[in-house]
Chains A and B, each alone.
Chain A
Amino acid sequence: MKEPNSENNIIKATNISFYYNKKIVLKEISVEIPECSIFAVVGPSGQGKTTFLKIFNRLWETIPYARLEGEVNIRLNGKWINIYEKSVSLPFLRRSVGMIFQTPNPLPMSIFKNVAFPLKLSGYKDKLLIEKKVEDVLKKVYLWNEVKNRLVDDARSLSGGQQQRLCIARALIFEPEILLMDEPTSFLDAKSGRIIETLLLSLKDRCTILLISHSMEQVKRIADLTMELSII
């Protein structure tokens, strides 16, 4: 791993160990991630890559019998916070640290409602503002022209690549500072995958991307830093 420039770091995780039941999944990992970079996590299947990502938005906490040791600090709005402190609000953390899953997971609603869903969750009422934000974010993921005439259609009627871009748009609507991406192109054809890679490169100046990838070519093409999670 290349040495990050510590002044620009946005994530600092120290001595992370993760247990599921009594089995150790991650062992004493320490990592510093500079902002506005694409940080790739590679390694064979079953080495806890997805778990590693979920540490940064605390999404693992619903797993029964799981336990985490170590400290995770993230710089949000220019302020370092330990995300496992009691005072940290989960909705705030997850709005600042978005996540994209391996399979596109649009909810069974219209395209518009899917993208506006996070706004609804945090109680936005102003329709014009919501429409504006949805349009902006759909443009950001190069989806606006493809869907602007069918915003009321079921989101599941889109193609796989479009669905994944929709999910990225949905995660971007609060302008998160970090995006966690769990093999976002693994279920897509090469062309759709390339579109998403271009998109990730264009998002890099606004947010930091943690990317799990199975494809070494992809990592070579877009990643700034690489970490390998290997067998414990």
Chain B
Amino acid sequence: MKQSFLEICIKSFAWFSGLFLLSAVFLIMCYLIIKGWGAFGFSLVFGDVPPLDALFLHRKVFSGLFPAIVGTYMLVILAVGMATPVGIAAGIYLAEYGKERIKSFFSLFYDILAGIPSIVIGLFGFSIAIFLHRYIKEIYPCLFISAMALAILVLPYLIRTTQFAMENIPEDVRLTAPALGADKLQNILYVLFPRSLSGITSGVILAIGRCAEDTAVIMLTGVVASAGIPKSLMSSYEALPFYIYYISSQYRTSQELQTGYGAAIILLLICAGLFLTAFFIKNIMIDRILYRS
């Protein structure tokens, strides 16, 4: 069949848009690698400390990115670890238990929460730290407060993706277990939740990305330029996005700027590693839940 002119136009526009996006990603990657490659290496991460000494915390790293990498990892794992159970539970509630009116009411609020600029969430975390400091003198802006604020930032993604994943399960799958005598909770645990895991994982991945890259929230809630490896949840810490921001605005030599690019590459690698971990955990869970007899 001959395609109409309009159809050809729409098709080419769609192709062009897809290619445009791909080439943008490709260009950014290339740019980062070209700019940052020179700084890349063990010394970027560990400075002048032998890597093994640094990894086992025998010696402190002052001139490398190691503390910032550890800080970023801890921050992401803490924040996503806090947000995931709450987000999934809230999503399940909205999809399975919430009555129509409550549902639309809550959904509106989660959408508003998703739209709040991260700097405002940062201010909120900061206020909480100050409020707590009034009663407990040991509390300052710290790793825990940052993680909590980031968890609030990513909650709406987790809630909504869980809700949509569950609501989009086809009716015949939804009725399978009840028709065999399952009660509502059993249906959720054995059928609906495992079926939604893929969707939920994409929400978790979004959350990981958001936590790893966000600078505004952590800037107000405890990140500093030089703190070393965080000693506890209550101490300040370093993080890669903040390092990148700091270096790009205050670099003195071109070498310093180059470490900023190196940090950006490392941040991307960390994100990729965390995404893969999320997929891995999902596959293990599906295997455990579904195929073990």
Contacts and interface: CB of A to CB of B under 8 A. Distances in A.
A116 B172 contact: no
A59 B175 contact: yes
Contact of A112 (B175, B178, B179, B293): B293
Given A94-B181, A95-B181, A105 B176 contact: yes
B191 interface: yes
Interface stretch (B55-63, B75-83, B155-163, B182-190): B182-190
Contacts of B172: 101-103, 105
A91 interface: yes
Interface residues of B, number: 22
B293 A110 contact: yes
Given A59-B175, A117-B190, A122 B293 contact: no
Given A59-B179, A116-B293, 5 more contacts: A62-B175, A91-B182, A107-B177, A122-B181, A151-B293
B175 A121 contact: no
A57 B186 contact: no
A116 B291 CA distance: 12
Given A62-B178, A91-B183, A117-B190, A109 B291 contact: yes
Interface string B233-267: 00000000000000000000000000000000000
Contacts of A64: 100
Contacts of A116: 293
Interface in B35-49: none
Contacts of A120: 190
A108 B195 contact: yes
Interface of B: 100, 172-183, 186, 190-191, 194-195, 290-293
A59 B181 CA distance: 10
B293 A99 contact: no
A95 to B, nearest CB: 4
Contacts of A154: 291
B175 A118 contact: no
A13 B171 CA distance: 26
Contact of A94 (B173, B179, B195): B179
Interface in A120-158: 120-122, 151-152, 154
A165 interface: no
Contacts of B291: 109-110, 113, 152, 154
Contacts, number: 74
10 contacts: A59-B175, A59-B178, A62-B178, A90-B181, A98-B179, A98-B180, A101-B172, A101-B175, A108-B290, A174-B181
Nearest to B195: A108
The binding surface of chain B is classed by DSSP as helix
A152 B293 contact: yes
A99 B179 contact: yes
A113 to B, nearest CB: 5
B290 A113 contact: yes
Contacts of B194: 108
Interface string A45-64: 00000000000010100101
Contact of B293 (A62, A91, A108, A113): A113
B178 A94 contact: yes
Contacts of B183: 90-91
Given A105-B172, A108-B194, A118 B293 contact: no
A192 B123 CA distance: 66
**Top 7 A-B pairs, shortest CB-CB distance:** A91-B181, A94-B181, A99-B179, A95-B181, A118-B180, A109-B290, A105-B176
A94 B180 contact: yes
Given A107-B191, A121-B186, A121-B190, A57 B175 contact: no
A27 to B, nearest CB: 24
Contacts of A121: 177, 180-182, 186, 190
Nearest to B291: A110
A80 interface: no
Interface in A52-97: 57, 59, 62, 64, 90-92, 94-95
A109 B174 CA distance: 15
Nearest to A61: B178
A108 B176 CA distance: 11
A212 interface: no
B181 A118 contact: yes
A15 to B, nearest CB: 25
A207 to B, nearest CB: 15
A107 B182 contact: no
A52 to B, nearest CB: 15
A36 B172 CA distance: 27
Contacts of B174: 62
The CB with the most chain A CB atoms within 10 A, among B100, B172, B174, B179, is that of B179
